[in-house]
């Protein structure tokens, strides 16, 4: 595919539509390697990946359900099932973890904001890499991305934050594209 057409055709998949197969082995390694090819001031690699599939997804869904029940003791079983549904149904999730720090021990002069932007760029590259390999992907967050029990389940350290859950899988067919922002509302030209 022409590179411009490729970039124009990338869109977020519906997480409910994603199914098997998912990338594995060398293909997954290549996708994560491409995702890691991002601007990175000081070569800090202020991100890491937690890949969840099969039993790992079931365990994450369980942790989400437990966290929801702990926060909503009045919730019935149907509400708990609904809270964990997105994780029960996912064929694969790549949790992208931000390791940004205000005073990075290796390079304290590099602003935390630049490290955070780098992690966001990794997420975008991950979406492009999945698209290039023929997989659908969508970058999601939601309350579990901020819940201490879920973050602990994923093994995040005290200084780490979750940039999001990237759901990856095969789409059954092509979806319609959504309306995109109008450039005349986003662009200011300063040529003098």
Q: Is the pLDDT of residue 139 over 80?
A: yes
| pLDDT > 90: percent of the chain | 90
**DSSP element (H, E) containing 58:** helix 55-71
**CATH no., domain 3-185:** 3.40.109.10
Please provide residue 93's backbone torsions phi and psi, each rounded to the nearest 5 degrees: -130, 135
pLDDT for 130: 98
Average pLDDT, the chain: 95
Question: Angle of helix 112-132 relative to helix 25-35, nearest 10 degrees?
Answer: 140
- The tens digit of pLDDT for each residue in 26-74 reads 999 999 999 999 999 999 999 999 999 999 999 999 999 999 999 999 9
Cα gap 110→129, rounded to integer Å: 27
Cα gap 169→92, rounded to integer Å: 6
The model carries a pTM of 0.94
Q: Name the more confident of 106 and 86.
A: 86
Q: Nearest 5°: CA angle at 157, between 152 and 161?
A: 85
Q: Is the pLDDT of residue 175 over 80?
A: no
**192 — pLDDT class (breaks 50, 70, 90):** confident
Q: Is the pLDDT of residue 177 over 90?
A: no
For 78-90, what is the mean pLDDT? 97
């Amino acid at each position: 595919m022409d590179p411009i057409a490729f970039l124009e055709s990338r869109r977020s998949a519906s997480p409910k539509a994603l199914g098997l197969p998912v990338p594995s082995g060398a293909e997954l390694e290549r996708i994560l390697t491409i995702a890691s090819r991002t601007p990175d001031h000081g070569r800090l690699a202020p991100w890491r990946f937690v890949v969840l599939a099969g039993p790992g997804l079931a365990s994450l869904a369980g942790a989400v359900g437990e966290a929801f029940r702990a926060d909503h003791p009045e919730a019935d079983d149907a509400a708990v099932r609904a809270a964990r549904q997105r994780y029960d149904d996912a064929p694969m999730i790549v949790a992208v973890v931000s390791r940004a720090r205000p005073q990075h021990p290796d390079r304290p002069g590099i602003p935390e904001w630049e490290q955070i932007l780098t992690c966001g760029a990794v997420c975008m590259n991950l979406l492009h890499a999945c698209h290039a390999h023929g997989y659908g992907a969508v970058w999601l967050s939601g309350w579990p991305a901020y819940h201490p029990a879920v973050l602990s389940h994923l093994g995040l350290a005290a200084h780490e934050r979750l940039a999001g859950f990237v759901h990856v899988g095969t789409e059954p067919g092509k979806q319609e594209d959504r309306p995109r922002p109008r450039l005349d509302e986003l662009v200011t030209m300063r040529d003098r």
